[in-house]
């Protein structure tokens, strides 16, 4: 039934041409891993650290759960299951790892789903987030890269996790002495997921020419990425609370500086330093180190630079006053 649904959408997509295709590609772009990271970074640096902390922890745990489920279920992508499915070529390049559950839907549940729960947002904005959530999920079906059950489970798990993480953060704020034990548990689970993904067996199926359809070990790459992100968030929370004390309660000029300098330096780190680290460290450990550094820079290193620069600026203002 799921394949029939995708074939029906595919027929409509081919008949409609570019009319809806470009729109749904934009919806998919909004929930890409890279886009999600940039959105949360901007919120964390310039808008609301409180909201950003929730997004970081919820998103990273969602990615970890998504990676765990992917390597556990080992569900092939629709076009591997049925050769009649012809996904959009551009969307296919971003469809990495196993199919179930949808990572883009999980990202959307983390970023836009959290907006539905966030009571400080006005009703209209929360409705908009809900609409974006639905459109992202539909886009993954429309473009032929996920089945309905992929996106439904991705959304469902993602929304439940974001709700539970909001309760966890509230509890940790009320019991700061529990932050380190919680981080130890989170880090331990992340490492356990990495070991699980690396040591488990994967299905080996062959096509009609005798070639392996999917190399399971390569499909675990997204899971290793999630482990790195999760480790960075848990460690970053501890370091920020103890040493950095980053805040978004700063003048507009400081926020503009954070936005411009933060994005430029983040892309420099992501495009130059992270790949170099990955090249130096072989295998899954390199993937974990790469994504760890990516998020650690956003949560700790760049905020630390900002705090130091802003402190110096305040000292100079006092001397000249």
Q: Which residues contact 23 (CB under 8 A, 6 or more apart)?
A: none
Is 218 a residue whose pLDDT tops 60? yes
Across all residues in the chain, what is the average pLDDT?
91
Confidence of residue 82 (pLDDT cuts 50, 70, 90): confident
Residue 91 lies in a domain: yes
For residue 317, is it within any domain?
A: no
Number of H helices, E strands in the chain: 16, 0
In a domain, 131, yes or no: yes
- Residue 317 pLDDT > 80: no
Give the pLDDT of residue 318.
65
Q: Is the pLDDT of residue 316 over 70?
A: no
Domain-located, residue 222: yes
Whether residue 212 has pLDDT greater than 90 = no
Q: Is there a domain that residue 320 lies in?
A: no
Residues of the domain holding 23: 2-310
Q: Is the pLDDT of residue 208 over 80?
A: no
In this prediction, residues 236-249 reach a mean pLDDT of: 91
The whole-number average pLDDT for the span 52-60 is: 95
On whether residue 244 sits in a domain, the answer given is yes
Distance CA 189, CA 26 (A): 34
Residue 278 lies in a domain: yes
Does residue 3 have a pLDDT over 80?
Answer: yes
Number of domains composing the chain: 1
The residue among 319 and 110 whose pLDDT is bigger is: 110
The pTM (predicted TM-score) of the whole model is 0.92
Q: Give the per-residue pLDDT at 321.
A: 57
Q: Decide if 225 is inside a domain.
A: yes
In this prediction, residue 38 carries a pLDDT of 95
What is residue 60's predicted lDDT score, i.e. its pLDDT?
96
Listed in sequence order, the DSSP H helices in 18-146 are: 18-30, 33-42, 49-73, 78-81, 89-93, 103-117, 123-142
What is the tens place of the pLDDT at every residue in 17-51?
778 889 999 999 999 999 999 999 999 999 999 99
């Amino acid at each position: 039934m799921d394949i029939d649904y995708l074939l029906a959408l595919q027929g409509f997509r081919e008949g409609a041409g570019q009319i809806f295709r470009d729109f749904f590609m934009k919806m998919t772009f909004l929930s890409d891993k890279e886009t999600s990271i940039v959105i949360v970074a901007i919120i964390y640096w310039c808008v609301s650290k409180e909201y950003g902390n929730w997004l970081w922890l919820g998103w990273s745990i969602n990615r970890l759960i998504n990676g765990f489920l992917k390597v556990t279920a080992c569900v092939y992508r629709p076009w591997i299951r049925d050769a009649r499915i012809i996904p959009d070529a551009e969307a296919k390049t971003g469809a990495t790892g196993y199919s179930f559950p949808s990572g883009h839907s999980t990202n959307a549940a983390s970023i836009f789903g959290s907006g539905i729960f966030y009571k400080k947002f006005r009703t209209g904005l929360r409705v908009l987030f809900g609409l974006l959530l639905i459109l992202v999920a539909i886009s993954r079906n429309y473009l032929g890269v996920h089945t309905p059950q992929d996106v439904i489970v991705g959304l469902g798990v993602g929304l439940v996790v974001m709700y539970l993480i909001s309760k966890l953060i509230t509890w940790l704020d009320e019991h700061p002495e529990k932050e380190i034990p919680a981080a130890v548990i989170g880090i331990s689970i992340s490492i356990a997921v990495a070991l699980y993904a690396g040591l488990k067996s994967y299905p080996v199926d062959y096509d009609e020419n005798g070639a392996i359809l999917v190399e399971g070990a390569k499909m675990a790459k997204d899971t290793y990425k999630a482990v790195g992100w999760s480790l960075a968030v848990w460690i970053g929370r501890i370091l920020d609370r103890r040493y950095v004390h980053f805040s978004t309660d700063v003048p507009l000029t400081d926020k503009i500086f954070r936005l411009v300098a933060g994005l430029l330096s983040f892309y420099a780190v992501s495009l130059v330093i992270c790949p170099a680290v990955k090249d130096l460290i072989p295998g899954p450990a390199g993937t974990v180190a790469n994504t760890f550094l990516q998020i650690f820079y956003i949560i700790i290193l760049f905020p630390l630079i900002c705090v130091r620069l802003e402190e110096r600026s305040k000292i100079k203002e006092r001397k000249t006053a």
